[in-house]
């Protein structure tokens, strides 16, 4: 049996980066998304308030999921890096608005981001097939 093919989706709307990683990698029915932060379409960090950085990160995640044939509703797991623990209440409020119930599995840790980032999110999602529509849980 051959291994399942690996896909590296790219799309003009997803941020590029000069760093050695793919925005996402698809294998089998899953897409693994690289840690997404507050960067512009050229991959340059955009320093902002926690809310601004959070929204830009989620927007980048959504674009990358779309390029891979998935969306925020098909995320099964997220790992979240919040630089300052003081931002956790705001993080939980914004997160509840960005995703919808039933929510993905989630882990959140703090104090482990470089000083130029306030937030980063990494995700695993199910790939859906747009011609047939995406089915939710």
60 binds a copy of itself (CB under 8 A): no
Q: Which is nearer to a copy of itself, 52 or 79 (CB)?
A: 79
The answer to whether 14 contacts a copy of itself (rule: CB under 8 A) is no
Contacts of 57 (CB under 8 A, 6+ apart): 36, 37, 38, 119, 120, 121
Site for a copy of itself in 18-37 (CB under 8 A): 19-25, 27-30, 32-35
Tokens coding 134: 């995406």
46 binds a copy of itself (CB under 8 A): no
What is the token pair recorded at 17?
């980066």
Helix (H, G, I), strand (E, B) or coil at 83: coil
Smaller CB separation from a copy of itself, 48 or 117 = 117
- Cis upstream peptide for 119 (omega within 30°): no
CA angle 57, 8, 31 (to 5 degrees): 60
To the nearest whole angstrom, how small is the minimum distance from the Cβ of residue 73 to a copy of itself? Answer: 9
Q: Which residues of the chain form contacts with a copy of itself (CB under 8 A)?
A: 1-8, 19-25, 27-30, 32-35, 74, 76-77, 79, 81, 85, 88, 92, 95-96, 99, 101-115, 120, 122, 124, 126-129, 132, 134-137
């Amino acid at each position: 049996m051959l291994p399942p093919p690996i896909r590296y989706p790219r799309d003009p709307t997803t941020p590029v980066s000069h760093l050695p990683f793919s925005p996402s990698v698809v294998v089998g029915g899953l897409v693994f998304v690289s840690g997404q932060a507050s960067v512009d379409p050229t991959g340059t960090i955009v320093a902002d308030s926690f809310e601004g950085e959070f929204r830009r990160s989620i927007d980048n995640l959504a674009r990358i999921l779309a390029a891979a044939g998935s969306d925020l509703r098909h995320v099964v797991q997220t790992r979240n890096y919040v630089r300052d623990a003081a931002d956790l209440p705001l993080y939980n409020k914004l997160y509840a608005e960005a995703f919808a119930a039933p929510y993905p599995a989630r882990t959140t840790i703090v104090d482990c981001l470089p000083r130029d980032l306030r937030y980063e999110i990494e995700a695993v999602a199910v790939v859906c097939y747009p011609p047939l529509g995406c089915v939710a849980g």
